[in-house]
Amino acid sequence: MAQVVVVMNPKGGVGKSTLATNLAGYYANRGKNVMLGDVDKQQSARMWLKLRPPEAAPIQGWDVERGKPAKPPREATHVVLDTPAGLSDKLLDQVIKPAKRVIIPLQASMMDILATKGFIEQLARDKAVHDSDALIGVVGMRVDSRTRAFDELQRFLDGLGLPVLGYIRHTQNYVYLAARGLTLFDVAPGRVQQDLDQWAPILKWVDG
């Protein structure tokens, strides 16, 4: 059975596709048969796959049909699902069933914090979440630890009761690589070592 990781947050622009594509790149560069599923109407992950060069470690696309169970193809060993903003209860139930891990990305802004707080409360009430075996963790995105916003984010996360997997800094490395269909794991480690260090605890949790 495939290892399924779902990246979700109903707030748009929080870095879901950045997390999803880089996680798929991590698995691909470990020789896994990885599929990147896109249930986002914007199809960001699917468009990113079209940019991916043929010499890069292969990542297959998977179009998840809305309203049908998100059942991973048999050939996949690892699946990463990128989900849309405005995630409905029905779509949440659809993608949570096969999930082994759920990652909630969150930026250090009050609007993002408030939206995510409501979403986490929704997860706590959702029967499909309770019935699943999925573990849920949070990742701080585009974080600058020198700012007051980061302090506010930390205070919020401290009271969540969910594991904080790590913090991803705000850097053009992600922008530059995404424009070429690449991830941190597709380039020489020395070019992106600081970012790989930030990913280490996230990947340990995902693989655990």
Q: Residue 19: which CATH number? A: 3.40.50.300
Q: Does residue 104 contact residue 59 with C-beta atoms inside 8 Å?
A: no
Tens-place pLDDT, residues 126-182? 787 878 888 899 999 988 878 887 788 888 888 877 888 999 999 999 999 999 999
pLDDT at 42: 63
Question: Domain span at residue 48?
Answer: 3-207
Closest Cα partner for 102 from 16, 160, 174? 16
Instruction: Indicate the pLDDT class of residue 21, thresholds 50, 70 and 90.
Output: very high
Instruction: Indicate the pLDDT class of residue 122, thresholds 50, 70 and 90.
Output: confident
Q: Is pLDDT above 80 for 90?
A: no
Instruction: Indicate the pLDDT class of residue 66, thresholds 50, 70 and 90.
Output: low
* CA separation for the pair 42, 86 (Å, rounded): 12
Closest Cα partner for 178 from 29, 56, 11? 56
Q: Is pLDDT above 90 for 183?
A: yes
Average pLDDT, the chain: 86
User: Radius of gyration of the chain from Cα atoms?
Assistant: 16
pLDDT above 70: percentage of residues in the chain: 95
**pTM score:** 0.90
User: Tokens in use for 104?
Assistant: 């909630």
Phi, psi of 134 (to 5 degrees): -70, 140
User: Tokens in use for 146?
Assistant: 């020198």
120-127: long-range contacts, CB 8 A cutoff, minimum separation 24: 120/160, 120/162, 122/89, 122/92, 123/92, 126/89, 126/92, 126/93, 126/96
For the chain, how many structural domains are there in total? Answer: 1
Question: By CB neighbour count within 10 A (0-12 exposed, 13-18 middle, 19+ buried), where does 164 fall?
Answer: middle
Q: Is pLDDT above 60 for 97?
A: yes
